[in-house]
Structure 1
Amino acid sequence: MASTSPRLSSSGGDPSSPLLPSPASPSSAPSGGPLGRLTSLRGAARFIRRTGSRRLMREPSVAVRETAAEHLEERQTEWAYSKPVVVLDVLWNLAFVAVAAAVLAASLGEDPAVPLRVWIAGYVLQCLLHMLCVTVEYRRRSREADQEGAGDGDFKPRLSIVFLAFDVFFVVFCVALACVIGIAVCCCLPCIIAILYAVTDQQEGASEEDINNLSKFKFRTMGDQDKLVAGIAAPVGGVMTECGTNPRVEHILSAEDAECCICLCPYEDGAELRELPCNHHFHCSCIDKWLHINATCPLCKFNIVKSNLGREEV
């Protein structure tokens, strides 16, 4: 018995192959003996413990996956047996049943070679059975849901009231915020316009002296006799004659230029015109009002005040 203890310690076997005896003990007892059977049983127990520990390590991840799959399946089944889906399914099959019944009623006097009535009747029966099964399953699920919700019946209404209060609060908040923004825009828009008007570079109007320094003309239409005398063959709208000059300064205007670009009216005989330094001419009444507000030409934006200042400096 004293000589057997070293053999037991040396015959533990290779950890990688627990069911096989160690090759370092060739003089060990045969596997058929009691000692060999004890060694094999110990190796098998060690192997089972290792595999069990690995399985325990894998169990949490497997449990998580199984739980997620169960939740997904429950959601799919709950959606498939929700009230709108069940109603649509029943109405769809009921429409097929109604159409099939109408076809059967309309074809009572016919004698087809193929028994189509049997096929239609079987299809109608299948639709009716489907509707019955769906209705029964929907009622069963509704009954189970009511039984599960009976325990926390006092909690769900309170939770629903809380969510409803949150929804109402956010709706009121959004509407109030939109109203506040609209009122702020309406109240602050004039202030913003005034600030922008003050910040931007505004064109100053011309003074009465600057306007009076501009050349003033008298418009005169030309008849056919005047054209023959002047030897003008092209269409002419009239002649501008400068006032208060000697000798007279005249400008012949074409038919296209013989109109005011501000009021868009043609020049009449005897109308008073004013010519700007940029050689653009307008009615005196029109251009005087314009220059009091803005000292630039309506056509080319030439500034008459700056031109006068430049002349004075020169």
Structure 2
Amino acid sequence: MYPPPIPTSSSSSPATDDVSSPLLNRSRRVSQPLRGAASRLLRRASSRRMMLGESSVRVRETAAEQIEERQSEWAHSKPVIVLDVLWNLAFVFVTVGVVWFSSGEDPGVPLRFWIVGYNLQCLIHVACVVAEYRRRRGYDQSNRDLDSGLISVQGSSDDYGSAEIESGTSVAKHIESTNAIFSFVWWIIGFYWVTADAEELAQSSPQLYWLCVAFLAFDVIFVVLCVAVACLVGIAVCCCLPCIIAVLYALADREGASDEEIERLPKFKFLTLKNSEKVNGEVRETHGGIMTQLGVDSPSERVLSSDEAECCICLCDYEDGTELRELSCRHHFHEACIDKWLRINATCPLCKFNILKTGEQSCNDAV
């Protein structure tokens, strides 16, 4: 019933669960488990010793989380909310018209009852979406007031406000989840009634019959779109993460580090060193190298093993003469790869170390 979501947005979001993300929530029973599908796929790939290394898997899990956060914010933006409400109300208006003109039809199964239940789900979904949108607007307004110093809130007030937000989120989440379960059961009932004696219904009650068929078909189409979008995003994150970063860089608001802050990070030049090692009786060449800092009078050097001489973002080995960027957490990447990421999100994609808080924050997972 709802158009598929596209993960393209970037605005700060409250630290709460995504309760009634609009548009695909007629098929929320499918879209909710698909959220984080890329992360789960990557963990399985790591546990089964597939091609991605541990560092590359962690980078892709971070990217998948970033996409989910931005998709959630885009899904709750005002234009999408308006489109979602109009889309669902259009179903209700069409239903009223069809039921009015088909008053003389007498189907052998209670199709009118099923149609009313279907539209009731639409109205419940609209109510949840509007309530969630208003709650988020109130949350964002409170944050803006706090940042601007217009209001002063003590610690106890913060705790009370957080509890109130969590309470509202929990209620909306339970309502939306119940509506999704009911939607799934109701779809099965409608499918059974429509297909039990399709030919007779098409002849005796053509308008009600085709309205039910259209509703059922819309649900199937959007479930397929949900699965397709989730699979494409998962494949892109696994196999072509630079493409995802480029799309986010082009379409999303750049809330990460500025060019000046990025340029303060040290740059290195990679020089390849070929070594030989004996593995299972065979002599193999390993391509490690040395990172030499650029733009300083006394450049520091760092030796990289063959396993370390790879960019965790694009999965390409460092080539001789390649310029690298090293973050304060000691993680290094291709300069072009990491610069685009930092303009979107000022944290290390491997350990989530914030480069803007170098003096205040330590990296827990630095290697």
Give the TM-score band, short-chain normalised.
0.3 to 0.5
Larger radius of gyration: 1
* TM-score, L = length of structure 1: 0.36
* TM-score, L = length of structure 2: 0.31
